[in-house]
């Protein structure tokens, strides 16, 4: 059975619970001391070296660390770490940092070494040096460190010792339960050494992969997969995770993109550049070729009331806790990428090599029984052909809220290349009732995009569930056109045409009312088939330029408006439905040709659904 790990230091928020609490002797850090930076190599040899303090990570078992005089590798004492069981109310794991507040000059050493063993065979999640509860500028980590039940020596190579002239973070660790159970491990003889036999340094960025991606001006991303590998004196290779500040980054075309000391890439122009790096003068394996396509058009900003939204991914709302935007499901998934790009402050999901990919939010699951729709914005970044498709699937984990618990359900909706546009955002507002097979929405936990490799590269934004209200909760926008330039049919903001009949008997099935919304009178057509407005007198609007209409509908799939002159002569204009909030349109009166604009007598609407209207007026 695969062991269960509950802690990953890379994703938890660190804060000091016990900061620089003296564990051994203390010293007064004078200005001279701070300036000279002692070269002290010892961290723990039968006790802590002078000046060392301890800071615990958040949510740790504070009693989990002790000095043990009974079990030791050498001398009279060792460090003992008692990992808690899953569910221990006193702490979820053990983890902390040993700090020298004055700093040390470690430039004369090439490794941190220690001896360790466990009460059982286990794997320590992470440990290393360079964590100082501040910038962690020269952080080094060794992950998944195997423990035996007997003492073994471990070596953490220093990637570039010349950087460590004033280092404060002497040693740090983080470990959680193994298969849900706690255990004990010991560490002893922790010190920095000059081994002199570390050979064949092999730094890497992006885990040694040569990446190529299309992006846009304003994109910001951070270089990942930073490692350094040495061949130890034993002949074994040892790889450690390395902070960006160890590297010297280079952009082949800085007019396209620049790279900061912290490995943050900023795309500033159009064109192509290649990002590479060196560590200690050695070329790092891996690169990042950027093709900047120029100015980026973001997805439409959502305007729905946050009170009616459960957001999975959007900068417009507060998102629910999400475990991942890419589960990297082995062995059949090829999809790369996740929520890993930022363009002008807008976070965007980018998937490449898409065949299928999953977003999971099961801790806790989402109760969307009050929601009516799922929204997502998708931009395809490649040419499409017939047969290309993307299937959107929602998964519910059932009453037990556990995947594979026997009561899971899912449903999907398929969109072909005819529904998508290369290089442009397409917004999908999908009724949850359309996800056939999804028999429950009370424990939603997954969203999947499935293309079967027909479409490989997409951008995704604004994934959220929402409840479509039956009526607007806010008034239509207040008009700002000067009354002297307006002929108003229906609006609280102007004097309307006298004698106008808003509900003439034309044999229609539409039910007309005038509800007040947020203090503003609106015109509501319920169950629209067609509906007329008979003006109080013939109107000459030939000197006007536009017909303005504000409208709101949650359920219409067809809506047209007409101008009618004596004859009758009429012409329609299609309105886009449904709407996301109030929709304001300015229709050029020229669009209603051949209607006689000097003799307009009626307006008409036809279509379906329930329509709210306001601010119907002609203006310049």
Choose the weakest-confidence range: 298-307, 372-381, 478-487, 561-570. Answer: 298-307
pLDDT per position as a tens digit, 507-561: 999 999 999 999 999 999 999 999 999 999 999 999 999 999 999 998 899 999 9
C-alpha–C-alpha distance, residues 173 and 192, integer Å: 16
Average pLDDT, the chain: 92
Cα 616 to chain centroid distance, Å, stands at 41
pLDDT per position as a tens digit, 251-287: 999 999 999 999 999 999 999 999 999 999 999 999 9
pLDDT per position as a tens digit, 416-455: 999 999 999 999 999 999 999 999 999 999 999 999 999 9
Choose the weakest-confidence range: 3-17, 429-443, 600-614. Answer: 3-17
pLDDT per position as a tens digit, 313-339: 999 999 999 999 999 998 999 999 998
User: In this structure, are residues 96 and 48 in contact, taking their beta carbons and an 8 Å threshold?
Assistant: no
Choose the weakest-confidence range: 1-15, 229-243, 570-584. Answer: 1-15
Q: Where is 104: in which H helix or E strand?
A: strand 94-104
Percent of the chain with pLDDT strictly greater than 90: 88
Burial of 330 (0-12, 13-18, 19+ CB in 10 A): exposed
Round to the nearest angstrom and report the end-to-end CA distance of the chain: 74
pLDDT greater than 60 at residue 13: no
pLDDT for 340 equals 81
How would residue 9 be classed by pLDDT, with cut points 50, 70 and 90?
very low
Choose the weakest-confidence range: 291-295, 407-411, 483-487, 596-600. Answer: 291-295
pLDDT per position as a tens digit, 115-129: 999 999 999 999 999
Contacts of 508 (CB under 8 A, 6+ apart): 529, 530, 531, 532
pLDDT for 28 equals 43
pLDDT for 16 equals 39
pLDDT per position as a tens digit, 305-316: 899 999 999 999
Cα distances (angstroms) measured from residue 165 to each of 34, 104, 110, 190, 283? 11, 7, 13, 19, 23
Residue 166's nearest CA partner among 237, 101, 254 is 101
- Residue-level length of the chain: 620
Could you tell me the domains of the chain? 21-196 (2.60.120.430), 200-295 (2.60.40.10), 306-466 (2.60.120.430), 483-619 (2.60.120.430)
pLDDT for 468 equals 82
Residue 181's nearest CA partner among 363, 58, 3, 1 is 3
> What is the residue whose two structure tokens read 């509908």?
553
pLDDT per position as a tens digit, 36-68: 899 999 999 999 998 899 999 999 999 999 999
Q: What integer is the mean pLDDT of 482-506?
A: 98
pLDDT for 35 equals 54
Q: Tell me, letter by letter, the H, E, C secondary structure of 137-200.
A: CCCEEEEEEEECCCCEEEEEECCCHHHCCCEEEEEEEEECCECCECCEEEEEEEEEECCCCCEE
pTM over 0.95: no
pLDDT greater than 70 at residue 33: no
Q: Which residues pair with 204 in a beta bridge?
A: 227, 285
pLDDT greater than 50 at residue 17: no
């Amino acid at each position: 059975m695969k062991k269960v790990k509950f802690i990953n230091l890379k994703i938890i928020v660190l804060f000091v619970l016990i900061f620089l609490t003296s564990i051994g002797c203390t010293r007064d850090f004078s200005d001279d001391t701070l300036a000279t930076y002692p070269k002290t190599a010892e961290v723990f040899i039968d006790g802590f070296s002078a000046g060392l303090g301890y800071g615990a990570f958040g949510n740790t078992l504070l009693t989990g660390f002790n000095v043990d005089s009974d079990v030791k590798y050498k001398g009279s004492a060792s460090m003992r770490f008692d990992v808690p069981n899953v569910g221990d109310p006193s702490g979820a794991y053990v983890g902390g940092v040993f700090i020298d507040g004055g700093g040390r000059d470690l430039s004369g050493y090439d490794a941190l070494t220690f001896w360790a063993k466990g009460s059982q065979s286990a794997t320590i999640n992470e440990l290393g040096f360079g964590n100082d509860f501040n910038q962690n500028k020269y952080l080094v980590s060794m992950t998944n460190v195997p423990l035996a039940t007997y003492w073994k020596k471990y070596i953490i190579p220093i990637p570039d010792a010349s950087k460590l002239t004033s280092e404060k973070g002497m040693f740090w660790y983080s470990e959680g339960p193994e298969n849900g159970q706690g255990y004990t491990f010991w560490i002893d003889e922790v010190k920095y050494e000059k081994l002199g036999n570390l050979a064949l340094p092999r730094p890497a960025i992006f885990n040694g992969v040569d990446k190529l991606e299309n992006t846009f001006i304003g994109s910001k991303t951070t270089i990942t997969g930073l490692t350094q590998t040495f061949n130890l004196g034993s002949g074994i290779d040892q790889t450690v995770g390395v902070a960006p500040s160890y590297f010297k980054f280079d952009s082949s075309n800085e007019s396209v993109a620049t790279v900061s000391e912290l490995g943050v890439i900023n795309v500033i122009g159009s064109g192509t550049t290649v990002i590479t790096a060196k560590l200690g003068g050695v070329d790092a394996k891996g690169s990042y070729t950027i093709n900047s396509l120029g100015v980026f058009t973001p997805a439409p900003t959502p305007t729905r009331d946050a009170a009616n939204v459960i957001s999975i991914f959007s900068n417009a709302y507060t998102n629910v806790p999400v475990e991942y935007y890419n589960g990297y499901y082995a062995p059949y998934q090829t999809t790369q990428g996740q929520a890993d790009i930022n363009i002008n402050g807008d976070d965007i999901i980018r998937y490449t090599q898409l065949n299928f990919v999953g977003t999971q939010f099961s801790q806790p699951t989402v109760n969307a029984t009050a929601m009516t729709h799922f929204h997502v914005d998708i931009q395809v970044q490649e040419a499409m052909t017939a047969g290309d498709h993307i299937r959107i699937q929602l998964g519910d984990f059932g009453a037990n809220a556990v995947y594979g618990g026997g009561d899971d359900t899912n449903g999907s909706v398929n969109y072909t290349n005819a529904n998508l546009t290369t290089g442009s955002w397409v917004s999908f507002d999908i009724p949850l009732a359309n996800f056939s097979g999804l028999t429950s929405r009370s424990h939603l936990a997954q969203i999947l995009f499935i293309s079967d490799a027909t479409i490989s590269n997409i951008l995704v934004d604004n994934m959220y569930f929402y409840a479509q209200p039956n009526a607007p909760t806010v008034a239509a926008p207040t008009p700002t056109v000067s009354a002297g330039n307006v002929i108003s049919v229906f609006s609280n903001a102007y004097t309307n045409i006298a004698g106008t009949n808003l509900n003439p008997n034309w044999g229609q099935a539409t039910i007309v009312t005038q509800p007040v919304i947020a203090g503003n009178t609106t015109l509501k057509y319920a169950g629209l088939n067609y509906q007329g407005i008979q003006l109080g007198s013939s109107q000459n609007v030939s000197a006007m330029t536009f017909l303005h209409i504000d409208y709101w509908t949650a359920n219409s799939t067809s809506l047209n408006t007409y101008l009618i002159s004596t004859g009758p002569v009429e012409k329609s204009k299609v309105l886009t439905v449904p709407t996301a909030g109030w929709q304001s349109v300015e229709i050029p009166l020229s669009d209603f040709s051949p209607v006689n604009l000097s003799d307009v007598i009626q307006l008409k609407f036809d279509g379906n659904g329930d329509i709210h209207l306001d601010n119907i007026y002609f203006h310049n």
